Structure 1
Amino acid sequence: MIVTTTNTIEGNPIQQYLGVISSETIIGANIFKDIFAGLRDIVGGRSGTYERVIQEAKQTALNELQQKAAAIGANAIVGVDLDFETVGGKGSMLMVVATGTAVKV
């Protein structure tokens, strides 16, 4: 399945628009991740732990988006947008929302 942030797919004209689809993923950070990330903040540098959590949440949201598109007969998703927010007490959870337009090319 073609997944793109653009509104068109070069060389593949859109034959049918099937509608806007979205998926949401919420992943909680646990206390051990918070402790190690806090240490990283003190000594400086990137937090590989949180980067992996963000990557996992993003991939989960995109996978679910593709499943929803396939379920309605799409073979591509255009105009994909990813939004990242923290939710829960003290921002203890990460929410990723993926949206796009399911199409047939």
Structure 2
Amino acid sequence: MLITTTNSVEGHPVAAYLGIVNGETIAGINVLKDIGAGFRNVFGGRSAGYEDELIAARDSAIGEMEQRAASIGADAVVGFRFDYEVLGQGNMLMVVATGTAVRLS
């Protein structure tokens, strides 16, 4: 499945717009990762624990969006974008992947 941030695919005209598709993931950050991130906040540096959670949540959201697009017969998703939101007391991360499912000619 081709996923692109552009509104078209060069050399492949859109034959049909099938609708908006989304993939959502809500990821919780555990206490140990919070402690590690707290140390990084004091001493500086990157928080590998948080980065790993973010990457996993992003991949999950894309995968879910891709499955939904495939289930309605799409060849591609155009106009793709992410949205991130922190939920709760700051220990939950919501990632939403959104785009338009299309059939290419």
Q: TM-score range by the shorter chain?
A: over 0.9
Q: Which runs of 5+ in 2 are unaligned?
A: none
The superposition leaves residues 12-48 of structure 1 with CA deviations (integer Å, 9 ceiling, x where unpaired) of: 1111100011121000000000001111111101111
Tell me the equivalent position of 1:63: 63
Greater than 3 Å deviation, 4+ residue runs: none
Distance 1:54 1:79 in 2: 21
Letter in 1 for 2:84: F
Tell me the equivalent position of 1:47: 47
Distance 2:45 2:11 in 1: 42
Distance 1:13 1:91 in 2: 43
Q: TM-score, normalised by structure 1?
A: 0.96
Tell me the equivalent position of 1:79: 79
Distance 2:55 2:102 in 1: 25
Distance 2:75 2:33 in 1: 37
Tell me the equivalent position of 2:12: 12
Q: TM-score, normalised by structure 2?
A: 0.96
| Identity fraction in percent | 53
The superposition leaves residues 44-68 of structure 1 with CA deviations (integer Å, 9 ceiling, x where unpaired) of: 0111111111111000000000000
The superposition leaves residues 65-101 of structure 1 with CA deviations (integer Å, 9 ceiling, x where unpaired) of: 000000000010000110000001x111000011100
Tell me the equivalent position of 1:25: 25
**What is the CA RMSD across the aligned residues, in angstroms?**
0.7
Number of residue pairs the alignment of both structures matches: 104
Letter in 2 for 1:21: V
